[in-house]
Structure 1
Amino acid sequence: MSAGLFGLLDDIAALAKLAAASIDDVGAAAGRAGVKAAGVVVDDTAVTPQYVQGVAAQREVPIIKRIAKGSLRNKLLFILPAALLLSQFADFLLTPLLMIGGTYLCFEGAEKIWARLSGHGKGESVDTAKKQLDSEAEETVVSGAIRTDFILSAEIMVISLNEVSDEPFVSRAAILIVVAFAITALVYGVVALIVKMDDVGLHLAQRSSAAVQKIGRGLVRGMPVLLSVISVVGVAAMLWVGGHILLVGLDDLGWHALYDAVHDLQHEVEHAVDAMSSVLGWLTNTVASAILGVVVGAVAVAVMHVLPTKKAH
């Protein structure tokens, strides 16, 4: 009897170890997939704070919570089932879909640069800062934010899925669920911290300590700078990630010339410079991907904005 009990305990321990290993594998794979989607995550983080600019302080976090719930609903109820079915029955469509998403990222990044250079983007923050929302306007803002999030969330999930496409179906589902929760919590947690930074700064600026007051004023002055930095990093990340998706996608579809040229250039840089060769090699690949992203994005912006405007004139 005791031998049977010990055998059962050994089996339970083995199953527990197997389950723990599986959880570790899912966590590690989710981490790799999330890193691949980093560019879109940064863009999502950069875009969202604009929806609560000018809103009463007590409504900022509730609005962000509503957008976060909508984002999670997008990922789990709509994007995840579609992505899993696609990977199971039509995985040959993953590369073209990724390339469409990559082109969209390039377009978004180039469009932001075009708006800044042409002056079309100026004055937006001033207008947004003046709005005060009633319940109906707040509903409109939240709905618009969730619609915009759907596009970014779809890109995040497809990029993540492509990274774990070789995993079994159940593992893929578990990994994507982890990615959905983790990235949503990360993006909207960071957004909540950003939008409350000026309130924290104002509170600290009213304290009696001169040092604390100085920190508070620094937080208030630093928020516009932080938003500008996030915006610039978001644009760069979109162009880099979008360009890299297109570069790899072209290679997967059989058009190897461009990918091979960048790969050869990366190797030449690594061999030419012994110190920090891997970092410089990665940087070479990143810059080449970003250049491709700028070129593709510029063409897309021309098709969507510049050429129609010239025709109208």
Structure 2
Amino acid sequence: MARPKSLAVLKPVVQASGYDPMTPVRSLAAIPPLMALALILVWPAIALAQSLDAADRPFEALWHWAPFLITRGFLFNILISFLCLAIGTFAGVLLGLGQISLHRPLRGLSWFVTQLFRNSPWLVLLFIVMLALPFEVTLFGRPYYVPGWIKAVIGLSLPVMANIAEIVRGAVRSVPSTQWEAAESLAFTRRQILWRIILPQCFKRMIPPWMNWYAILTMATPLVSILGVEEVVNLTRQAIVAEQNRPELLMPFYGFVLVLFFAYCYPIARLTLRLERKFAVKL
């Protein structure tokens, strides 16, 4: 009797190599909590070592300016990140749904806008928005000044919008096509299928990458300081100037800003990976 040949088997799914948008948050969250605490504690020692004989003076100045830098600077960065994420999420959801539209012109336009802002440098977009928008608008015959931070919010919202659109499109495409076919067989309209069947399953899948982009956005908010927006980096520079530009202040002040961002983004990164494991699609 002839020996049967080996039957074909389904091999495990191998993820294609390439850039993973979750890489920045994974790298940050990979730092153990104790090591993260140690890194924060090492900062004062390095600052003291660089300040030489004036070891006590830099931290006296930092202690004086710290409340101002936190309340008037860092919290403003957080406000900018919230506004950018809100605008980017709203516009990104619409843009992502446009990419799966049955209307070819709308689908093509949505794809073009997504790729344009997704692959453009954030700083270049900020400069374009800052220069393109007017410095003053007139409503009902009364002029109104347009603050720089509003332009910065719009500029940072554009790349966030494009990346959120990709998250929405990818989440919708990840739902098995059999669910679309089953819903169509039950005479559901496309709108009913999308809003009642497909999108409710996508929300959990979109939360981890959505939080990932919020962490990236928060770490990118210091870019607006180049455009003159008075956030934490700009105010830190002003505080150093007010202290006679002493070189020994650079490490304590900018190290303090680094600690603020790290202490804020590190828990978000840890929570993001935890939610990613919780909501991972089991194959």
Same fold (TM over 0.5): no
Higher helix fraction (1 or 2): 1
TM-score, length-scaled by structure 2? 0.35
TM-score (norm 1): 0.32
| Structure having the higher Rg | 2
